[in-house]
Amino acid sequence: MKATSNGAKVIALVGPTGAGKTSLAEAMLFAAGAITRLGAVKDGNSVGDASPEARSRGGSTEMNLMRFGWMDEPFVLLDVPGAPGFSADAEQALAVADLALVVIDPDPVRAPQAEPVLRQLEAMEIPRAIFVNRIDQARGSIEELLETLQPLSASALVARQIPIRDGEHIDGFVDLALERAYHYRPGKPSEQIPMPADLESVETAARFHMLEQLADHDDVLLEQLLLDEVPKLDVIFGDLTRETAQGQAVPVLFGSAINGFGVRRLLKMLRHDTPPMEQAMERLGLGKNTAQVFKIMNGSSVGRLALMRLFGGQVREGADWVDESGEAVRAGAIFALQGSAANKLQQTDPGDVVGIAKLDDVGAGQRLGMAGNRPEPAERAAMAPNNCALAIEVKDHKDEVRLSAAIGKLVEEDAGLAWAPDEMTREMLIRGRTDEQLAVALERLKRRYGVDVSASAPKVPYRETIRKAVTQRGRHKKQSGGHGQFGDVVIEVRPLQRGEGFRFDERITGGAVPKQWIPSVEHGVRDAMESGPLGFEVVDVAVTLVDGSFHTVDSSELAFRLAGRLAMGEALAAAGPYLLEPFAHVAIRVPGTATSRVTSHLASRRGQMLGITPLEGWSRWDVIEMLLPGAELAGLDGELRSLSQGMAQFEARFDHFAEVNGKLASAIIQGRLEPA
């Protein structure tokens, strides 16, 4: 039974970088008549990937939204970037999709690149299908490809088609549900042909296997197969629709986006098997007449737009809504996006995806209610950590104010970016998930907002501490006519355990240092700790003020602060200072085929192995845990990807400081080693 809905069907195109998602979107638009000329990503004239950053890289750097009608039903495509650095776009967009179409390469060697996507969709409980692109370039068999793919999916991969070969090349397919054969025609609908005689037995076996997979979740169908009864087409199509919607089956189709092979058959499957929008509403916990915002766009010709999916009736410009806190908001102009173009709408349809202006206080991930219907707040999923960073500063100081506003807009658009001063080095850092994401952000910063910055690897927050306890006097005395300056202190300085920080106490007796000036001594001690004898901030020391003296006229807060600084500086130099470097706990998710290469590389970066464990629920993936010096984190993202076909991802968090010895310590102290 086919579920029905009056809403637009929202399809997210996902998959590894380079699989051809944007090319497939172009082919779907062309097949549906939404465009009259088939563009190409490589030629820079496709509807998607229209930004200069995407075209210079030949791949998506942000989500693209496209729309078309097919057989009198509205469709919206969310073309999601495949690169991990832009995964925040994917996470937000996937949440509002009815179905995710995973686009993959036909090469069994590259097919495992789809596993992270498939696992993410399973975790988000999003119905999914697979489109094997570039099937005309396939050299292996579909059976081999499916055998490679099946361990990557918890749900059964159900082949809806088998190929028809002309020698080494695939030039058509057999639809297993309909038992019809088709011949590909470039740029045109496939032509039905008689079933090839040499495929009859293969088709019968493949179709029976498809029915067996569906029967795993349909007892009636199972009984029919056991009794050798021929199931009716409406039963087969009903099972395909239901099991796809419930995530029990993942339909697999194939074709060639560039040539238009199999695209119309794909559209027919999507029209029939895409779940109604009510299922997405239930998954999101949304009621009727609500909207989910999934992205903010800045810098377009129409200004700031909040992209959202509407789960309700028609909406017009100026409509009054309610946000999650119950505050009233008013919708501005409404736009339908087609790649980089924005076309104004008078009203929307149920389930539509649109951009709405003038919602300046509404951000991605928030919900809105129509007609006074206050929505329940969305559960904010934990975001992936921003492990990569660049220290930035404007080349022209006149741009400092503009920098803050411009980066604020970039961060608003991309939840995978963050911008804040580093507490340890006091540098202004922009953080992201990958080095590529940061490079794109800086390009946009210059192109869109005219702010040019210099960027460098962040400084490593080296520290220093001491080996032994010392007692030191510090006396500041100055006489220059009139009131002079006099402060005299004696302090005991001793090392603390690693990570204990700083402790200040006093054991003054007899008023040797008046109480009102003791805080000034502590301030002076802290001043000296900002840069110790080795040139770095001092940590893990305890200081006790034990004695001193004062002058009734010449003593002051400043004098005792200077005395404290003097005493602490001399004490640190005498207490055996030594250098500390930060270590990070790094967890790397990597395909098993790359584990040995990655561990060898990390060893060359002075990594300390903690362990390797299988990634639970995944097919031959590992989690490598290591301790890595902070100086070795720069460039790690790119190195890991080059060692793993672009699949490895890592998370890093500060773990501890450890002593640096020998020539390395000398090089750091003398400034011969550039901080990474």
Number of Cβ within a 10 Å radius of residue 406: 21
pLDDT at residue 145, as a whole number: 87
Say if residue 441 is in the same domain as residue 525: no
pLDDT at residue 10, as a whole number: 95
Query: Is 324 part of any domain?
Result: yes
pLDDT at position 672 over 50 = no
The number of distinct structural domains making up the chain is 5
Nearest by Cα to 239 from 273, 271, 266, 208:
273
Domain that holds residue 609: 580-673
608-614 vs 541-549, strand pairing mode? unpaired
pLDDT at residue 256, as a whole number: 93
The arithmetic mean of pLDDT across residues 612-629, rounded, is: 92
Q: Is 88 exposed, middle or buried (0-12, 13-18, 19+ CB in 10 A)?
A: buried
Nearest by Cα to 43 from 258, 302, 268:
258
- Classify the phi-psi angles of 540: left when phi > 0, otherwise alpha if psi is within -120 to 50, otherwise beta: left
CB 210 within 8 A of CB 282: no
The arithmetic mean of pLDDT across residues 472-487, rounded, is: 85
pLDDT at residue 437, as a whole number: 87
Rounded distance between C-alpha atoms, residue 66 and residue 25, angstroms: 8
What CATH number is associated with residue 642? 3.30.70.240
Number of Cβ within a 10 Å radius of residue 404: 12
Model confidence band, residue 50 (pLDDT cutoffs 50, 70, 90): low
What CATH number is associated with residue 406? 3.30.70.870
Q: Give the torsion sign (CA, 96, 99, 102, 103).
A: negative
**Which tokens in the block code for residue 243?**
């099991």
pLDDT at residue 1, as a whole number: 33
The arithmetic mean of pLDDT across residues 474-498, rounded, is: 88
pLDDT at position 618 over 90 = no
pLDDT at position 5 over 70 = no
Asked which of 257, 281, 305 is the last residue of a domain, the reply is 281
Query: Is 346 part of any domain?
Result: yes
Query: Is 358 part of any domain?
Result: yes
- Compute the CA torsion angle 557, 558, 561, 563 (nearest 10 deg): -110
pLDDT at residue 548, as a whole number: 92
- DSSP lists the bridge partners of residue 541 as 495, 502
pLDDT at position 125 over 90 = yes
Nearest by Cα to 28 from 277, 257, 282, 302:
257
Query: Is 1 part of any domain?
Result: no
pLDDT at position 98 over 80 = yes
Rounded distance between C-alpha atoms, residue 224 and residue 201, angstroms: 20
Say if residue 157 is in the same domain as residue 56: yes
105 vs 62: which has the higher pLDDT: 105
Rounded distance between C-alpha atoms, residue 345 and residue 76, angstroms: 15
pLDDT at residue 38, as a whole number: 77
Say if residue 62 is in the same domain as residue 184: yes
What CATH number is associated with residue 482? 3.30.230.10
pLDDT at position 85 over 50 = yes
The arithmetic mean of pLDDT across residues 358-378, rounded, is: 84
**Which tokens in the block code for residue 520?**
């000034």
- H-helix segments, 479-552: 518-529
pLDDT at residue 426, as a whole number: 83
* H or E element that contains 474: strand 470-478
3-state class of 349 per DSSP?
A: coil
Say if residue 490 is in the same domain as residue 527: yes
* H or E element that contains 404: helix 400-413
Query: Is 614 part of any domain?
Result: yes
pLDDT at position 191 over 80 = yes
Query: Poorest-confidence range of 233-237, 364-368, 582-586?
Result: 364-368
pLDDT at residue 14, as a whole number: 92
Say if residue 250 is in the same domain as residue 141: yes
pLDDT at residue 394, as a whole number: 87
Query: Is 3 part of any domain?
Result: no
3-state secondary structure string, 292-332?
Answer: EEEEEEEEECCEEEEEEEEECCCCECCCEEEECCCCEEECC
Q: Is 212 exposed, middle or buried (0-12, 13-18, 19+ CB in 10 A)?
A: middle
**For 210-222, what is each residue's pLDDT tens digit?**
999 999 999 999 9
pLDDT at residue 44, as a whole number: 67
pLDDT at position 409 over 60 = yes
CB 591 within 8 A of CB 647: yes
Predicted TM-score of the model (pTM)? 0.86
Say if residue 487 is in the same domain as residue 636: no
Question: In sequence order, which residues have a C-beta less than 8 Å from that of residue 599 and are 6 or more positions away?
Answer: 607, 609, 612, 624
pLDDT at residue 401, as a whole number: 84
Say if residue 250 is in the same domain as residue 218: yes
pLDDT at residue 383, as a whole number: 64
Angle CA 479–483–487, to nearest 5: 65
Model confidence band, residue 58 (pLDDT cutoffs 50, 70, 90): low
Angle CA 403–404–405, to nearest 5: 95
**For 428-445, what is each residue's pLDDT tens digit?**
899 988 888 898 889 888
Query: Is 376 part of any domain?
Result: no
What CATH number is associated with residue 325? 2.40.30.10
CB 184 within 8 A of CB 261: yes
**Which tokens in the block code for residue 169?**
């090349």
pLDDT at residue 3, as a whole number: 42
Nearest by Cα to 235 from 219, 258, 246:
219
The beta strand positions in 149-271, using DSSP E, are 156-159, 161-166, 169-175, 180-185, 188-193, 249-254
Sheet holding 99-104, edge to edge: 64-70, 73-79, 9-14, 99-104, 128-132, 249-254, 156-159
Asked which of 261, 281, 301 is the last residue of a domain, the reply is 281
**Position of tokens 């930035």?**
392
What CATH number is associated with residue 69? 3.40.50.300
Say if residue 433 is in the same domain as residue 303: no
Nearest by Cα to 667 from 525, 534, 486:
534
Say if residue 489 is in the same domain as residue 444: no
* H or E element that contains 542: strand 541-549
φ, ψ (nearest 5 deg) of residue 16 = -65, 155
Sheet holding 541-549, edge to edge: 470-478, 485-495, 541-549, 502-506
Rounded distance between C-alpha atoms, residue 65 and residue 75, angstroms: 11
**Position of tokens 């006093």?**
506
**Which tokens in the block code for residue 619?**
């097919």
Percent of the chain with pLDDT over 90: 50
Say if residue 66 is in the same domain as residue 19: yes
Say if residue 13 is in the same domain as residue 151: yes
pLDDT at position 181 over 70 = yes
Asked which of 456, 476, 499 is the last residue of a domain, the reply is 456
pLDDT at residue 503, as a whole number: 96
Nearest by Cα to 314 from 274, 354, 273, 343:
354
Query: Is 87 part of any domain?
Result: yes
Say if residue 553 is in the same domain as residue 614: no
9-14 vs 73-79, strand pairing mode? parallel
Rounded distance between C-alpha atoms, residue 543 and residue 523, angstroms: 12
- Classify the phi-psi angles of 573: left when phi > 0, otherwise alpha if psi is within -120 to 50, otherwise beta: alpha
Q: DSSP readout, 83-152?
A: SGGGHHHHHHHHTT-SEEEEEE-S-TTTGGGGHHHHHHHHHHT--EEEEE--GGG--S-HHHHHHHHGGG
φ, ψ (nearest 5 deg) of residue 578 = -150, 160
Rounded distance between C-alpha atoms, residue 483 and residue 553, angstroms: 7
Nearest by Cα to 61 from 417, 516, 382:
417
Q: Is 560 exposed, middle or buried (0-12, 13-18, 19+ CB in 10 A)?
A: buried
pLDDT at residue 382, as a whole number: 63
3-state class of 70 per DSSP?
A: strand
Q: What is the DSSP letter of 629?
A: E
Q: Which of 38-52, 58-72, 470-484, 608-622 has the highest mean pLDDT?
A: 608-622
